[in-house]
Each structure stands twice: as C-alpha cells, then as structure tokens.
Amino acid sequence: MVSLQLGNRTVVITGAGQGQGAAEARLLAEAGARVIATDLAEVPPAGLAGLASSSSASLVYRQLDVSDASGWSNLAAWIQSEGWQVDGLVNNAGITQRSRLLDVSVADLQKVYEVNVAGSLLGIQSLSPLMGSGTSVVNVGSVAGLTAHYPVAYTASKWALRGLSQVAAMELGPHGIRVNTVHPGFIETPMTASAKPEFRQTTLAETPLGRTGSVEEVAAVVLFLLSPLSSFVTGAEIPVDGGQSAHGGAKSVSDALR
Ligand code: NAD
C-alpha cells in the first residue's frame, strides 16, 4: 500500500538545526519517521526546540559536520549499534558564498564544495551501505544549479551536486536506492535573510507565482520523495521555486509586452 506515512522508517537529515532542514525534521517526524537530525552544534539547535525533547516526536539529534569523513563514519557506526537501517537520507546542509566571478578565490570555491558537494558525497558513501531496497536519498540543490546564478562558487557547487546525484541514481538504482534532487528557489530562511533587498525584488520579478516560498513547501516535496508514493522516481530533479527556473528568462519579455 502506498502512503505518505513514514512509520518504521529511519531518516537522516543534515543541516537540520534551522531553515529547511528543521522544517523537514518536523514534517518527517509528524509523518511517523524516526528522524536523526544532524547539524554543526553540539546541542540541539533552537530550530529543533521542543521536538528533540518531546516524547511524542521520534527525533534524535546528533552533531555532524558533513565535510568531516570521520563524523560520518561515527554516525554510521552509531546507527548500526542501535540496530537500525537507514531508509532515507536528506543531504540538506549547505552554505552560500556570494563573491562575484572576478573576485572569488580558489579557497572560497573549495570551502563551498567541501560542504555542498563533498558533504553529500560522504553522506551517500557512508550511509548507502546501511540502506536496503526501497530506500531514498534526497539531495538539496538550488535554482542556482539550473541557471547562471551570480554567486559563482555556490552556483558551481550546486551544478556539481547535480552530477553527483545523477551518478548516484545510476549506481545505487540496482540496490533499490532512489536518488533525487529538489531545487529550491527563494525560500524564507536564515540563509536568505541576509540577501540584499535588490536580490529579493529581482527574484520576485522572475518568479511566476510572485512570492517567496516557505520551508514547509520544500519539506513537502522531500516527504514525497522519501515516501513509497515516489517509488518509481529516481534521478529526477524537482524545482520548488514558484516557476522561477521554468521560463528560461522569458518572463521579463512577457511582462514588458502585457
Ligand atoms: P540555512 O543557512 O538556514 O541552514 C543551513 C543549515 O546547514 C544550518 O543549520 C547550518 O548550521 C548547517 N550547516 C552549514 N554547514 C554545515 C556543515 N559543514 N555540516 C553540517 N551542517 C552544516 O539554509 P537553508 O536556506 O535552510 O538551506 C538549506 C539547503 O537549501 C542548502 O543546501 C541551501 O543551499 C539550499 N537552498 C536554499 C535556498 C533558500 O532560498 N533558502 C534556495 C536554494 C537552495
């Protein structure tokens, strides 16, 4: 029977302390999953307040820097020691870096890649051996990975993540592990709270739905991709962006000719 419920399923989420990751932790716990929420902080961050201590929600918090291979090994060993398998992995942790093309340094590029690309690779390498048939990985890309978004290190990292996702979908498919990517547009989180007002206005002008998205709207698509309802979907990329990436730059022309 297909269902959006995730009862008896264990899901690991990275960068779950705030923003989209915290919303995913909340929704997946509500859907009945055992959520292993991870982030940089030693103690459960404020974004998980209530949930990590609530007896009704099945959520445990673990410290994890996704760029640290030994941290991933420790997490995998701990999950095994608990006698669990992994049914879902959400590679959500990400950082931005807003240098422009002629200013960005190789060190900037490496720093962003370590989290956004290597972090997701390490997650897949460490946890896929604990994943059986019918399990699912969701990588969190960005409309930056579908376009020529100006922060070049971030944009290049999200394009690289798409390549990693497609290889993982191909290689893990025979094991029954699905790998899909969501590409959020402008979502209201602490990451975008620091964006310039001009970025907000121009992005809204390029977004057919005419508004920013909420963390819950991304979490809902992640839930679908983790659930058996998407059992024949792998290697897919789903923009959650109010239509921003779909018009290929034609919206300003359409708007100008109204
Ligand atoms: P956020 O900055 O609000 O939260 C990111 C979380 O990742 C934080 O809790 C942070 O502590 C954690 N993190 C950072 N580096 C880490 C590391 N090395 N190891 C473990 N955790 C780490 O960001 P968000 O807006 O919620 O973004 C979540 C994901 O969505 C990111 O991959 C981001 O690139 C992507 N995204 C966001 C938007 C948006 O508009 N907010 C748009 C497109 C894509």
* Paired residues of 184 in beta bridges: 240
Closest among 248, 148, 154 to 208, alpha carbons compared: 248
Q: Is 154 a catalytic residue?
A: yes
Active-site entry in 61, 113, 150, 154: 154
Task: Find the 136 Cα to ligand 1 centroid distance in Å.
Answer: 20
> Ligand 1, closest atom to CA 143?
43
Cβ(17) – ligand 1 distance below 6 Å:
yes
Task: Find the 39 Cα to ligand 1 centroid distance in Å.
Answer: 10
Q: Are 156 and 176 in contact (CB under 8 A)?
A: no
- Domain segments of the chain: what residues? 10-243
Q: Which CATH architecture has domain 10-243?
A: 3-Layer(aba) Sandwich (3.40)
Helices (H), 129-229: 152-172, 190-193, 197-205, 215-226
Closest among 54, 44, 126, 31 to 86, alpha carbons compared: 126
Measured by CA distance, the residue closest to atom 24 of ligand 1 is 19
User: Taking the alpha carbons of 149, 66, 129, 23 in that order, is the dihedral positive or negative?
Assistant: negative
Cβ(151) – ligand 1 distance below 6 Å:
no
β 135-140/237-240 pair status? unpaired
Cβ(239) – ligand 1 distance below 6 Å:
no
Cβ(186) – ligand 1 distance below 6 Å:
yes
> Ligand 1, closest atom to CA 188?
41
Task: Find the 1 Cα to ligand 1 centroid distance in Å.
Answer: 34
The region that residue 249 occupies, defined by phi over 0 for left and psi between -120 and 50 for alpha, beta otherwise, is left
Closest among 136, 147, 117 to 175, alpha carbons compared: 136
Cβ(120) – ligand 1 distance below 6 Å:
no
Q: What is the pLDDT along the chain (258 residues), one digit of tens a residue?
A: 667 899 999 999 999 999 999 999 999 999 999 999 999 999 999 889 877 666 556 999 999 999 999 999 999 999 999 999 999 999 999 999 999 999 999 999 999 999 999 999 999 999 999 999 999 999 999 999 999 999 999 999 999 999 999 999 999 999 999 999 999 999 999 999 989 999 999 999 999 999 999 999 999 999 999 999 999 999 999 999 999 999 999 999 999 999
The predicted model scores a pTM of 0.97
The pLDDT score that the predictor gives to residue 3 is 76
